[in-house]
Amino acid sequence: MRIHWNGRGATGRFSIAAEPEAYDATPAVSDFFVDRDMLLLSDDVLSLAAFLAFAPYCSGSLTLPRSVSPELAQAITEFQAPAWVRVANVDMEPRRAPQGSGMALVVDDSLTFEPLPNTWGRARNLAVGVLDSASWAGDLVGTDRLLVASNAHLISQIGPASHAYLPLVATAMLFMESYNCSTLVLPDDAVDAAMWDRLAGLVKAAKFALLRESEARAFLAATTS
């Protein structure tokens, strides 16, 4: 699969597009859209988000939007096993990890949710509400939450159920650096245990941490009291 970063398009939306190669499936949706721009500093973060959007369809050679670290390439291969995937663009040079120390909670298509608490003097935490772009357009930005329309919801619905949460994770991941976040937080029931372990390997390789929502809230409560 060749996955491209298209940036801002003619209708003001940002997109990542997948182009199948010899062993790949044709994706049910070949463009992954989000309705606002973001601050992207790490090539690994962009490439991991791109992979997560199209993971169920990848087999064989995989070219990501940016060259990735060997550890992320290895994590992608392990994530995709037993299907065989080889990342074509790997950069062996050590690179800077994404900066920040806040947490980012992923919320699926909801306008009303409880954001993660923010406390004076502590790292800022974020909640990313991924809205269905078939119902919503554009974005709403706060200092502790971001609501952004994306077709991630559609990609989830049409793709295999086992991978349904990954496009939502991809959307949130694109905005983590914009808010200086380094820990990705998923609702407790977002993915099953097997997928959690596989996803944790990927997130770690991109130099982020992964927590369940109950763990994150407990940690924040314990460390701010």
Partner 1 sequence: MNDLDISVVIGYKDWGKDRLLGAITSTRGALGDLTGEIIVSDYGSVEYAGYRSAIEEAGAVYVRTETNGVWSRSRALNAGLQHATGRVLVTTDADMVFSPGTFPLVFERLTHDPQQFLLMQCNDLPEGIDHDAIERGRYSWPELSRIATQRPRWGMGGMIAFSREAYFGTRGLDERMEIYGGEDIDFAHRLQRLGLKLTWLAEPGAEMFHVWHPSSRASANETEAGRAAIELNRQIHLHDKTAARNLANWQFAPQDAPPLVSVVISTHNRAAYLGYAIRSVLAQSMPDLELIVVDDGSTDDTRAVVEGFDDPRVRYVHQQQSGIAAARNHATSIARGKYIAVMDDDDLMLPTRLEVSLDAIVEGANGAYGGWAIFREGDGSITLEPGKKLSLEALLFNGAVLTHATILIERRWLLAVPYDETLRSGSDYNLAVRLVRSGARLNHCGQYVLMRRLHDDQITATDPNIQKTSALVTGFWARATMINSDIVAARRDRSTLDQAETPPFAQVERRVVEYLPDDVVSRRVLVHLGAGTRPRSDQVAAILARGRGRVISRAGADVAVAADCEVPDVTLDELLQLREVFGSGLAVETTFRDSGRVIGDVGLSSLAESDWRDLLADDATRTAAVDDLRLALAACAVVVARDRAAVAAAVPALSTLGPVFEYEIDSSDGKQFAAVSPMLGDDVESLALETRRNIDLGEVEFVTISGGEGPA
Query: Please, which residue, 22 or 222, has the CB nearer to partner 1?
Result: 22
Handedness of CA 156, 31, 60, 46 (dihedral sign): negative
Query: Please, which residue, 22 or 193, has the CB nearer to partner 1?
Result: 22
| Rounded CA separation 194/153 (Å) | 22
Q: Name the token pair of 66.
A: 């940016």
Q: Name the token pair of 99.
A: 């900066």
Name the minimum Å distance from CB 42 to partner 1. 25
Query: Please, which residue, 147 or 216, has the CB nearer to partner 1?
Result: 147
Contact predicate 53/191, CB 8 Å: no
Name the minimum Å distance from CB 31 to partner 1. 5
Query: Please, which residue, 32 or 208, has the CB nearer to partner 1?
Result: 32
Name the minimum Å distance from CB 11 to partner 1. 5
Q: Name the token pair of 115.
A: 């954001």
Kindly list the residues in this chain that would bind partner 1 in the complex (CB under 8 A): 10-13, 20, 22-33, 35-36, 56-60, 82-84, 133-135, 137-138, 151, 154-155, 157-158, 160, 162
Angle between helices 43-54 and 70-80 (to 10 degrees): 10
| Rounded CA separation 97/207 (Å) | 6
Phi-psi region of 223 (alpha: psi -120 to 50; beta: other; left: phi over 0): alpha
Name the minimum Å distance from CB 63 to partner 1. 16
Name the minimum Å distance from CB 135 to partner 1. 8
Query: Please, which residue, 57 or 179, has the CB nearer to partner 1?
Result: 57
